[in-house]
Amino acid sequence: MVGVGATGRESALARCSVVDGAGRVLLDAHVRPRERITDFRTKYSGVRAKDLRDALTLRECQTRVARLLDGKILVGHALQNDLAVLMLSHPWSRIRDTARYAPLMRKAASGTKRRKPRKLRDLAREHLEGLEDFQAGGHSS
């Protein structure tokens, strides 16, 4: 995500990646936001101006992602954010979201049965070997 708007506080999609169940890359593309970019957030996003010169339009990205997801089970973390930025929907019965999977959530305030999502970084460190530096520096889809 890059910053758009006068202050750069609004976010816009600048890179989209989709992998299959075996981790093979199905799509990894930069996306040119409709709005003027006022903050590349390179430290976090990894995106630079030169990356967007030959980037897909948002519409092209939406079309490609929609085709890839059609009829598939979508697996990820906090997927409502990804779907919202792409302005796409997906049947809830075909979504597996680690942010909403109760055994991976943390307990909320004491005395309640509610649970809260954990950070992807923390889940990765706990469940995947060799990821001590997960999400250190700029993202790499």
Residue 95 has pLDDT above 60, yes or no: yes
Per-residue pLDDT, 20: 95
Burial class (CB in 10 A: 0-12, 13-18, 19+), 31: buried
Comparing 120 with 28, the larger pLDDT belongs to 28
55-78, pLDDT tens digit by residue? 999 999 999 999 999 999 999 999
Per-residue pLDDT, 52: 95
The one-letter amino acid code at 32 reads: R
**Distance spanning both ends of the chain, measured CA to CA:** 11
2-57, pLDDT tens digit by residue? 999 999 999 999 999 999 999 999 999 999 999 999 999 998 889 999 999 999 99
Burial class (CB in 10 A: 0-12, 13-18, 19+), 41: middle
Angle of helix 58-69 versus helix 79-86 axis, rounded to 10: 130
